[in-house]
Amino acid sequence: MQDGPRELDGKTFRVRVTYHGVEIADPASASPITFHTCIFEDDISYGLYHRVRDEDELWKYCGYQNVCMGLGDSPDVEVNVANSGRFMSIRPGESWITTYRLHSYIWEFPDDPQPGNVFRFVFSGAAVDWWDWGTKEQEHAQTVVIMPSSQWGDVIHPDDNNGRPQIVVPTSNQVEFAIAG
């Protein structure tokens, strides 16, 4: 196939994060949460696999290219949670939806994908680095955290999420897709 990896480059997946709430007697009284979305934007939170037909149908991991994002060593910055698109608020039973796009400069796609080749994509699971009870617009209108100057990556301060327990987002369902002929 002449187009090679371009068949995979730019493929977009919809990512839905649902807050199921906490186990309490009255689920309607469960508080909303505000959380940092970086784990859903970070390539290392995802896995892409290619089914290899000549090896007993094994799944081969499509690893990462050696990529330098060109981040500098600038001073860390204060970020107001309410004014940043990298923080979201959801209530119990609600979902937040974003997208993730495969890029050939990140992923090591097979050199010559053929029609019928099957791939598997999955969110591998990760812990949310910062979260708190309440919404961006109300309880966190004045909340400020310290972030790297690029505003990519984990919240630097508070580094322990102010003692709140971690929220661990489990592995997602696997999405399988094939290259069309």
Q: What is the pLDDT of residues 28-52, one digit of tens each?
A: 567 899 999 999 988 889 999 988 8
Is 6 part of a structural domain of the chain?
Answer: no
Assess if residue 137 is contained within a domain.
Answer: yes
Examine residue 5 and state whether it is found in any structural domain, yes or no.
no
Query: What is the value of pTM for the model shown?
Result: 0.82
- Give the model's confidence band at 1: pLDDT under 50 very low, under 70 low, under 90 confident, else very high: very low
Into how many domains does the chain fold? 1
Max intra-chain CA distance, the chain: 60
Q: Is residue 1 in some structural domain?
A: no
Q: Is residue 3 part of a domain?
A: no
Question: CA–CA separation, 67 vs 12, rounded Å?
Answer: 20
10: left (phi over 0), alpha (psi -120 to 50) or beta: left
| Measured distance CA(110)–CA(33) in Å, rounded | 40
- 109, with CB counted inside 10 A (0-12, 13-18, 19+), is buried
Does residue 119 sit within a domain?
yes
| Tens-digit pLDDT profile for residues 119-176 | 899 999 999 999 999 999 999 999 999 998 887 788 999 988 889 999 999 999 998 8
126 vs 180, residue with greater confidence: 126
Residues spanned by the domain of 37: 11-179
For residues 95-108, average pLDDT:
86
SS3 (DSSP) at 38:
helix
Single-letter residue type at 85: G
In a domain, 153, yes or no: yes
